[in-house]
Amino acid sequence: MATLIAVPAFDPFLAACWRDVVQRSDALPQLERHVLLHAGPPFDGMPPAPVLNAAVQAALFEGLAADAATARAMLSSGELRLLPAQDYGMVTPLAQVVSASMPLAVVGDSGTEAWAPLVEGPPPGLRFGSLAPEALARLRAMRELGLKRLKSLLRAQPVRLAPVVAQALASGDECHARTGVANQALVAALHGLSPDDHAALSASPGFALTILMAAACWRLRGQPEGIAAVGGNGLRFGLRLHGDRHWRSCPANAPQGTRLQGNDATLALGAIGDSAVLDFCGLGGQSLTAAPTLCEEWRQALPPDLLQRHAATVDPVTGLVDFARVHASGQMPLVNLAILGRDGNTGLIGRGCYMPDPALFEAGMP
């Protein structure tokens, strides 16, 4: 397949740098410790099981609850509050919620920034809705790495993200479902890492994902108009336009793609995660023709008109999914997402592509 993306489409990323690591309490001191930030639009009632698990883990991580039962009771009573992360300039992957002392990547330029949590590694992990104790142990290790070692390196030499994206696209990764090349480039740009830290970050290909998510969040927030936020919470998928106070949302179907062995019949959670910001910034689903291996893996689930769909949904100047273009064409942008089990016990069950409901792009919606 011909490569679709040219570097000029990502000129807006040229100013984006990974600049720092902070705790959420430092980034957003106005938020109380009992507030947990989640992906996608607001919940109307209790969250799905994977998000509930992640919220329980966050409460244990913060010392807000002594055990899982107490944390669940606090969520049911409203003592622990769940709010959309993107309403506060933050993005979070899949089912993960962000609590006050979790480590965050700070991405932006010298004037504005956005944040995303540093992920602790492959499954089991908080972003997969895992209740495994080792997920918290690895998060504590990542907090120490981020706040005690990465922070000083980044403050001395921020990492430019445009070269990371360009190298990944040129090597067949679309920077969402496939992030191995991006992670290699990102780790290589972190000058001064110890051999142990270098090995640990290199062994976690998904580490780069949330750094790029923060850059995409920063890019969307910096627009004067158009789409400011987009993502799924497992029950509903939504977006928020600049100037709107409320999210537009529709029921979230599960992504379609490939399942991990033994999970063909597992009930899947609906589209979940703030990583959709990547696809709405022209990466992921809008860069699939730059990732022929992924196209082949998902061949039966993908629409045949990837090039035409890109032209009908993406602004050629900004490289961003354009609300007006989508509304006029009726063609939906594609979002590459991991697939989680609905029950909260199976965790990661596959990966695939999600197509938003056209109702989200009805111009007259509030």
pLDDT at 17 over 60: yes
pLDDT score recorded for residue 352: 97
Work out the average pLDDT over 189-195.
96
Residue 181 phi/psi, 5° resolution? Answer: -70, -40
How confident is the model over 154-178, as pLDDT tens digits?
999 999 999 999 999 999 999 999 9
Q: List the one residue out of 269, 261, 260 whose CA is nearest residue 341.
A: 269
Render the burial of 22-41: b for 16+ CB within 10 Å, e for the rest. bbbbebbeebeeebbbbbbb
Contact 75, 52 (CB under 8 A): yes
Q: Does a cis peptide bond (omega within 30 degrees of 0) precede residue 124? A: yes
Q: Which CATH superfamily is domain 225-361 in?
A: v583 domain like (3.90.1700.10)
Contact 158, 18 (CB under 8 A): yes
pLDDT score recorded for residue 366: 54
How confident is the model over 200-256, as pLDDT tens digits?
999 999 999 999 999 999 999 999 999 999 999 999 999 999 999 999 999 999 999
All structural domains of the chain with their residue ranges: 7-215, 225-361
pLDDT at 307 over 90: no
Of the candidate ranges 82-86, 315-319, 358-362, the one whose mean pLDDT is the lowest: 315-319
pLDDT at 2 over 50: no
Residues 6+ apart with CB under 8 A from 64: 33, 34, 71, 74, 80
Residues 6+ apart with CB under 8 A from 92: 37, 38, 39, 85, 98, 116, 117, 127, 210, 273, 274
At 3, is the pLDDT very low, low, confident or very high (cuts 50, 70, 90)?
very low
Task: Kindly report the average pLDDT of the chain as a whole number.
Answer: 94
pLDDT score recorded for residue 274: 98
pLDDT at 277 over 50: yes
pLDDT at 10 over 90: no
pLDDT at 41 over 90: yes
pLDDT at 110 over 90: no
At 363, is the pLDDT very low, low, confident or very high (cuts 50, 70, 90)?
confident
Contact 287, 4 (CB under 8 A): yes
Contact 102, 143 (CB under 8 A): yes
pLDDT score recorded for residue 4: 40
What is the 8-class DSSP label of residue 254? P
